[in-house]
Amino acid sequence: MFAYHFMVNAFRAGTIVAVAGGLMGWFMVLRRQTFAGHTLAVVGFPGAAGAVWLGVNAAWGYFGFCGAGALLIAALPRATGGDRSHESAGIGVVQAFGLAAGFLFVSLYHGFLNGVSSLLFGSFLGITDGQVLTLLLVCTAAVVALALAGRPLLFASVDPDVAAARGVPVRAVSAGFLLALGLTVAEISQITGALLVFAVLVMPAAAAQALTIRPGAGLAASVVIAVGITWAALTAAYHSSWPIGFWIATFGFGVYLAASGWRRWRSRR
Amino acid sequence: MAEPAVSLLAHPFMRNAYLAGTAIAVLAGLVGYFVVLRSQVFTGDALSHVAFTGALAALAAGIDARLGLFAATIAVGAGMAVIGRNGRADDVVTGTVFAWVLGVGVLMLTLYTTSNSTGNSAAGVNVLFGSIFGLSAGQARFAAVLASVLVLVVLAGARPLLFASVDDAVAAARGVPVRVLGVGFLAVVGATAAEATQAVGALLLLGLLAAPAGAALRLTSRPYRAMWLSAGLAVASMWIGLGLSYAVPRLPPSFSILAVATAVYLAASVGPAVAAVAGRATTAFSRPAPPAPAGAGERQTAPGSRTSSRARRADRPPR
């Protein structure tokens, strides 16, 4: 399997994606921002489609749209307590309009069908050395930013009111997190496609939070699970004719089910 | 003015699109109102991915896509409600489930495109982004009838559902079957998702649920008025969007429908704030004016108080 260079690159890229996605996803799940995360993942599609239509590098489209989407969502009035209906309606509108715009760009550009499915569902097996390097740089930057802002971010995520009272700039931290998430997602979705980046973000994190509530252990578990799923999925995709996206989602779902089953069994004893 | 409208409806495909589109828009507006009120937009998002997988699974198995659509969305909608607390699904559970469903959808897409040697992957794109201009007369009528039935179901359950959505604890104490309502409601949302997929596609139906309802909830806080306003805005987006795509053939209909709906939402979010600022400016200018005579004042209080209450609402700090 490793005799092929494209598989080596797929493993390198997959590992980087898994580490960054596992860390970012853990905070996303903790902050109950799965819907925002999904929307950010999805707005990469119009970005890429628009870039292809205009004939510029797709990476600009991904970063531009995901970054703009993050700022837009951060500008929506943040819901506190039980009433989230306005915020979620706003996020939903951002997402649906983004996808509609993506569809418009794709239909204006006539290289129609293959383009859509590779933008939406990605292609793990055609990754170049240059792409791996960019991926590594962007994800390292995101992880370093996360490490630097980790403590206030954690504080603001767990209890925004107390954090605000203690002088943590909750709104700025929140906007910064969304922006970092958007940029990470923009980089990841160039590999996994706009629709499947969400699987890497949410599943390992959800499983990790079912296993432990301690932040350090949870972050570690999330990364380990993400890397494990990605390697297993790459191996399975290599040996079968089924797509990698299916394998990632299925292994992730299996781990999540096992983790929540284990938690239920533990709490019953 | 009448002539373009006549030529628009002279084409059978436009008549079909308007017939199905109107019914679907009314349904999506009504259901969307409750979806937004109950903060279940994310669940609607999940159901849109389920619709994609269901339709492609049916296509891969070689049966009518609508069968797969309805079976998958209704089953998953009700299932998520059963798993969740109080008939509402937790967002992490929702996210995990639909990420997996999407993975299965990718598999179905692969199976479908490889099994069809003709390489007809247009079906996948149609499921994702809709093809309302491609509806046959029979499909349009079926969609319209089904949407009307679902609208009646929603209206029949509107009162208890409203109660349960606003305050489920009190509603449960007053004997409203909150859990059953929650499960039934998500089943209806599932059916709505399946219906709307035929019009605007699995990926875009979320906009039809969220945008008109979000706009209506910004414009009024009175439940029934907001409900009908939401349905009206959805229908308006549908009509204008279809007309736009007819006039400008390069615009795909799903895009123009969603673009109009987004514009409506934007106007509703920004509009009241602007109106409040403008209202404050005019009252500041007109303050030195002498009070109006009693008879004239009587007539003006009703609309006047309404605008001032709207201004007050918009003045409130964002929640």
**What is the per-residue DSSP string for B209-234?**
HHHHHHHHHHH---HHHHHHHHHHHH
> For position B289, what pLDDT does the model report?
47
Chain B nearest CA to A139, separation (Å): 22
| Tokens read off for A163 | 């954090």
Select the residue of B97, B250, B258 nearest A108 (Cβ to Cβ): B250
Which chain A residue's Cα is nearest to B200?
A: A100
> For position A114, what pLDDT does the model report?
57
pLDDT-derived band of residue B312, with 50, 70 and 90 as boundaries? very low
| Tokens read off for B308 | 């001032």
pLDDT-derived band of residue B88, with 50, 70 and 90 as boundaries? low
Chain A nearest CA to B174, separation (Å): 21
Which pLDDT tens digits describe chain A residue by residue (269 residues)? 777 888 888 888 889 989 999 999 999 988 888 888 888 888 888 888 888 888 888 788 888 888 888 888 888 765 444 455 677 888 888 888 888 888 888 888 765 555 666 677 776 667 788 888 888 898 898 889 888 888 888 888 888 888 888 888 888 888 888 888 888 888 888 877 777 788 888 999 999 988 888 888 999 999 999 999 999 988 998 888 888 888 888 999 999 989 988 888 888 77
Q: Is there a contact between B204 and A96 if contact means CB atoms under 8 Å apart?
A: yes
Select the residue of B121, B203, B252 nearest A113 (Cβ to Cβ): B121
| Tokens read off for A54 | 């205009």
R_g over Cα of chain A:
18
Q: Which candidate in A99, A119, A120, A185 is best for mutational testing of the B interface (most B CBs within 10 A)?
A: A99
DSSP letter at B85 equals: B
pTM for this entry:
0.80
Which chain A residue's Cα is nearest to B264?
A: A93
Mean pLDDT of chain B: 79
Spell out which residues of chain B touch residue A256, defining contact as CB-CB under 8 Å: 96
> For position A220, what pLDDT does the model report?
93
pLDDT-derived band of residue B315, with 50, 70 and 90 as boundaries? very low
pLDDT-derived band of residue B311, with 50, 70 and 90 as boundaries? very low
pLDDT-derived band of residue B29, with 50, 70 and 90 as boundaries? very high
Which A residues 69-128 touch B at CB under 8 Å? Answer: 77, 79-80, 83-86, 88-93, 95-97, 99-101, 103-104, 107-108, 112-113, 116-117, 120-121
Chain A nearest CA to B295, separation (Å): 40
- Go through B15-37 and write b for each residue having 16 or more CB atoms within 10 A of its CB, e for each that does not: ebbbbbbbbbbbbbbbbbbbbbb
The answer, yes or no, to whether residue B306 has pLDDT greater than 50, is: no
Q: CB-based contacts of B313: which residues, under 8 Å, 6+ apart? A: B221, B272
CB B64 within 8 A of CB B58: yes
Chain A nearest CA to B259, separation (Å): 7
pLDDT-derived band of residue B153, with 50, 70 and 90 as boundaries? very high
Q: State how far the alpha carbon of B303 is from the alpha carbons of B160, B220, B298, B300, in Å.
A: 31, 14, 10, 6
Spell out which residues of chain A touch residue B319, defining contact as CB-CB under 8 Å: 77, 79-80, 83, 86
